[in-house]
């Protein structure tokens, strides 16, 4: 068993649908999917690929820490009370526990994610 997990940005298996709760949709009709690539034994750390179509939704991290690396597309993240920040393919960022704001997908995006709860 290897302890190295390659991150394949175009997995060859079907993704799971990730519905945006209707009360969090702020604009458009975002369609989101995820390919879960690895999960820790305790389920608290997850790694995968996520895609989303254009639209804006409320993002609430709760106690979750999330690292994102944008592979394709353009998104704008705005923390409540803060200025918008645009991220494009090649950019990486972290949303820390307690983050509340808006995630706007300007161009369909694909990201690598790592979440820690």
Residue ranges per structural domain of the chain: 16-116
Token pair of 57 as six digits: 């939704």
Q: pLDDT band for position 1 (50/70/90)?
A: low
Judge contact between 114 and 66, C-beta under 8 A.
Answer: yes
Cα separation, 71 vs 28, whole angstroms: 22
pLDDT at 55 over 90: yes
pTM above 0.85, yes or no: yes
What is the tens place of the pLDDT at every residue in 2-46? Answer: 889 889 999 999 999 999 999 999 999 999 999 999 999 999 999
User: For 36-54, how does the pLDDT look when each residue is reduced to its tens digit (9 = 90+)?
Assistant: 999 999 999 999 999 999 9
CB count, 10 Å around CB of 42?
A: 7
Q: How long, in residues, is the chain?
A: 117
CATH class of the structural domain 16-116: mainly beta
């Amino acid at each position: 068993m290897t302890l190295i997990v390659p991150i394949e940005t175009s997995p060859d298996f079907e993704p799971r649908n990730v519905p945006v709760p209707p009360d969090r949709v702020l604009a458009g009709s975002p369609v989101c999917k995820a390919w879960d690539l690895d999960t820790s034994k305790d389920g608290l750390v997850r790694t995968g690929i996520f895609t989303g179509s254009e639209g804006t939704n409320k993002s609430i991290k709760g106690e979750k820490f999330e690292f994102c690396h944008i592979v394709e597309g353009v998104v704008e993240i705005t923390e409540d009370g803060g200025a918008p920040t645009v991220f494009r393919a090649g950019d990486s960022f972290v949303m820390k526990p307690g983050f509340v704001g808006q995630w706007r997908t300007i161009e369909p995006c694909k990201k690598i994610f790592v979440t820690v709860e």
